[in-house]
Amino acid sequence: MAMDTIEDPLPAGTPDPEPRRPRLERLEPEERATPVMVYTADSLSWGRIITKGALRANMVLHSGIVPDFLTLYEAKSMSLRNLATLQSEPYAELHIPTDQVVGYHLVPPNSEPLDYDPEAPNRKMEPAAVIVGPFRFNGAFRMAELSNLDRFLEISQTPFLSMYQVEITLPANPRLKPMQVNFAQIRRTAVRFSPS
């Protein structure tokens, strides 16, 4: 069939269909949009993630079915290759491969319930520092009272570890103020750990 014989699907004089509204304006009743920050080895991105039902945004990486991509709406992203001149770029929609995610948390001051029972016996908070790309996360891991960071890392099997009461800094750019978050997810095999 020649290209000039393909008919226009809209008859002449038909107005263009209404442009598709942004995804955040089309949330279903069971959906929520929550601002999050996502760290990879060479970028930092932030935007709104959509979750459904009872799934909390801070638990996306611990859910039974972790998505192949984290999709952020009304997102911004910055390359971490030049830490002296950090510039962000806006994106209406940004898809980040989950296997590249090394850190994840809600944008402060947003918060959600944590993932543990504070009344559970024989547990402690063990202070630690985690190097996430160029960022330093100072916080604590919850573990058995008789354990330490070395044993905790050795026996942990989940891809992401929960870190609590975290202060995040960028040592290479001290002009940036520290950020405080009550809960962060850290990819166990893509960061470096040190006892505090």
Residues of the chain with CATH 2.30.30.100: 23-106, 123-195
Residues 33 and 10: their CA atoms lie apart, in Å, by 35
- Closest C-alpha to 147, from 84, 195, 179: 195
The distance from CA 23 to its chain's CA centroid, rounded to whole angstroms, is: 19
Could you list the pLDDT tens digit for every one of the 196 residues in the chain? 344 444 444 455 555 445 567 888 888 899 999 999 999 999 999 999 999 988 899 999 987 788 899 999 999 999 988 877 788 999 999 999 999 999 999 999 999 988 888 889 999 999 999 999 999 999 999 999 999 999 999 999 999 999 999 999 999 888 889 999 999 999 999 999 999 8
Residue type, 43: S
123-195 has which fold? SH3 type barrels. (2.30.30)
Strand ranges, E, within 88-122? 88-97, 103-106
- Does domain 23-106 sit in CATH 2.30.30.100? yes
Tell me if 107 sits within 8 A of 46, measured CB to CB: yes
Q: What are phi and psi of 66, to 5 degrees?
A: -80, 130
